Amino acid sequence: MKTLWLLALSFPLFFSAQTGEDLYTELKLNLPKTKNTAKEVRVEPDEIYLDKKMCFLLTLNDVDNEGEEKQTEYGLVPYSYEIKSLKGELLFFGVSKKDEAGNWKGIVDFNIIGKKAYRNPKVTGATRLMENLVANNVFNKDCSVNLDNLKQFYEKSNQN
């Protein structure tokens, strides 16, 4: 009976498949941190929170639900998003699409610093972008952007 119990408990360990989500970790670029650096992010359908404070507006353009795609400067894409300040200033514009192998790929314009076509396999959409920016000390608790860290993030991790 004891053997059967141990077997039942270990069954999920042998037969559960790890997904890409299970293996995901943020980029670690060791960018400078201050006492005002935001520590956590929560992405909701229309807004983004830093340390439980609403800081940004999020617009998701999901046209894939009808099998359609949206024309962008990066070609036809099923998903695009905009991240804006609470005053409406466009900070980031991104698109997501699948490659030939079926893996999601993202392209992001860092409008706030005038940089385009950022690519990194760890940044496939708005949530992953924000997780990586927060993990690398790009945002402050007051919702401001550490522009020096943002520029370093772009330069050190862009695989374009």
Neighbours of 28 (CB within 10 A): 10
- CA dist 8 and 152 (Å) reads 49
Q: Quick check: is 74 in a domain?
A: yes
Is 8 inside a domain boundary?
no
Q: What is the reported pLDDT for 88?
A: 97
pLDDT for residue 76? 78
Structural domain of 104? 44-157
pLDDT score recorded for residue 89? 97
Does residue 138 lie within any of the structural domains?
yes
DSSP 142: T
What per-residue confidence (pLDDT) applies to 149?
Answer: 96
Torsion from C-alpha of 75, 94, 92, 149, nearest 10 degrees:
-110
Query: For every one of its 160 residues, what pLDDT tens digit does the chain have, with 9 covering 90 and above?
Result: 554 444 344 434 333 343 444 456 788 888 889 999 999 999 999 999 999 999 999 999 876 555 677 778 878 788 899 999 999 999 999 999 888 898 889 999 999 999 999 999 999 999 999 999 999 999 999 999 999 999 999 999 999 8
pLDDT at 97: 87
DSSP per-residue string spanning 51-89:
TTEEEEEEEEEE-GGGT--EEETTEEESEEEEEEETT--
| Total domains in the fold of the chain | 1
pLDDT at 24: 61
Q: Is residue 32 part of a domain?
A: no
φ/ψ of 151, rounded to 5, equals: -65, -40
127 residue type, one letter: T
Terminal C-alpha separation, the chain: 57
Tokens read off for 65: 């639900």
What amino acid is encoded at 64 in this protein? D
Q: How many CB atoms lie within 10 A of CB 147?
A: 11
67 lies in some domain: yes
